[in-house]
Structure 1
Amino acid sequence: MLTDLQPIQLSALMYLGRCNRYSDTPLAVTEYLGLTKGTVSQSLKALESKGLLVKRPDARDKRSVHLVLTEPAQALLDAVTPPDFLVAAAGRMGTDAGVLEGLLLELLRNIQQSEDVPGFGLCRTCRFHQTVAGGAFCGLTQEPLAPREIELICREHQTSEPV
């Protein structure tokens, strides 16, 4: 199955496997990948025809659709991300792995600002992330977040740290 995918298709699947419920739309995939709407649209159609994703209408806005990975797509992602060698290497680094993660995040934020790239990021690092009544809460959407959601990519992310 992996050999049947174009790099853009795998990138789209990887993004959809890591994004939150506010960021699983065709437009969000387009913005995240930095490609044209036409290119991404064709890639998403191919993934849908391969049975790797389905389109679901938004419950509130019938004009909007959400892209949902199928079980075969999730199994494929589970098999390839993150690569075992990377997990093992990070484990051998000990506390330096956290330092490296911070430096890479700083590099990413610098590139995003200097190149005017949309600020996708993890909910837990967003200025809108709050703790309310002991649980995670998005101050932008005014909705509670499940514990898993704070580790997902959001297209509305805004950093609270100056770069």
Structure 2
Amino acid sequence: MDKSAAQFFELIDRLGNLVRVNLRGAGSQHSLQPVHLQALIYLSIANRYSNTPQALTEYLGLTKGTVSQSLMLLHRRGLIERQGDASDKRLVRLALTESGAQLLKAIQLLPEWTQAVTCIAPQRSKIALAVLKELLLALQLGAGNRSFGVCNTCQLNLHEGPRSYRCGLTGEKLSLPDTRMICREHQPRQKPRR
């Protein structure tokens, strides 16, 4: 294995372990597993094209059964709601309830991360974020997975004027908050060739 690739793998594996420990600790206070918190976090950032059980399954990279069981538990606890899609009766849409949103606010997932990031110079932090985003995208696309990127970074996001956006895939108008959410249909913008 390439030394640089091995170092990235080791560091990200260790960071991933810390994330899971953080999720386990935060969830245990509410009798929730990390997958339950990951589902709630996803639904808090997913747009209206991405709030389905299938999209959540793809995003988490888990089995349909695991996601289905997790969603049933979250629904029974009143943390999410399930609604039929108005235009396609086969689809189920998921959304956080007020209780689900309050739980996410209450569990404070990021204090240690916030503290750690403040120890890094802002410019170095920007560079690190850019490198990690580039690595994530390369791994996703290399494996044939969807990128689930933020709408305003998608080549299908059409900026029509001041604060006016439209989805080039669906033709639907997008609000400014819509453009800040992640989307299952995200298509990364092509980088200009150097």
What does residue 84 of structure 1 align with? 111
Q: Give aligned-pair identity as a percent.
A: 43
Change (3 A) 1:151 1:117: same
How far apart, CA to CA, are the structure 1 residues paired with 2:143 and 2:176? 32
Stretches of structure 2 that go unaligned for 5 or more consecutive residues are 1-25
State which of 25, 50, 70 in structure 2 corresponds to 1:43: 70
Change (3 A) 1:58 1:147: same
Stretches of structure 1 that go unaligned for 5 or more consecutive residues are none
State which of 125, 128, 138 in structure 1 corresponds to 2:167: 138
Q: Which moved more, 1:89-98 or 1:69-78?
A: 89-98
TM-score normalised by structure 2 residue count: 0.76
Q: Equivalences for 1:4-43 in 2 at 5 Å?
A: 4-43=31-70
What are the superposed Cα offsets for residues 95-115 of structure 1, whole Å, 9 maximum, x if unpaired?
Answer: 332222211110101111222
Change (3 A) 1:144 1:152: same
1:56 matched to 2:93? The reply is no
How far apart, CA to CA, are the structure 1 residues paired with 2:50 and 2:183? 6
How far apart, CA to CA, are the structure 2 residues paired with 1:74 and 1:112? 28
TM-align CA RMSD: 1.8
State which of 147, 150, 158 in structure 1 corresponds to 2:187: 158
State which of 43, 48, 68 in structure 1 corresponds to 2:95: 68
Counterpart contact for 2:81–2:94, Cα < 8 Å: yes
State which of 119, 129, 133 in structure 1 corresponds to 2:147: 119
Change (3 A) 1:111 1:94: same
Task: Give 2:131's aligned amino acid.
Answer: L
**Larger relative strand fraction:** 1
Aligned length: 162
Task: Give 1:57's aligned amino acid.
Answer: G
Q: How far off its partner does 1:117 sit?
A: 2.1
How far apart, CA to CA, are the structure 2 residues paired with 1:101 and 1:9? 26
What are the superposed Cα offsets for residues 3-38 of structure 1, whole Å, 9 maximum, x if unpaired?
Answer: 211111111111111100100001111111111111
TM-score normalised by structure 1 residue count: 0.90
How far apart, CA to CA, are the structure 1 residues paired with 2:170 and 2:117? 34
How far apart, CA to CA, are the structure 1 residues paired with 2:86 and 2:137? 33
1:109 matched to 2:137? The reply is yes
Deviating 4+ runs (over 4 angstroms): none
Task: Give 2:50's aligned amino acid.
Answer: S
How far apart, CA to CA, are the structure 2 residues paired with 1:21 and 1:160? 21
Instruction: Return the structure number with greater relative CO, CA threshold 8 A, min gap 6.
Output: 1
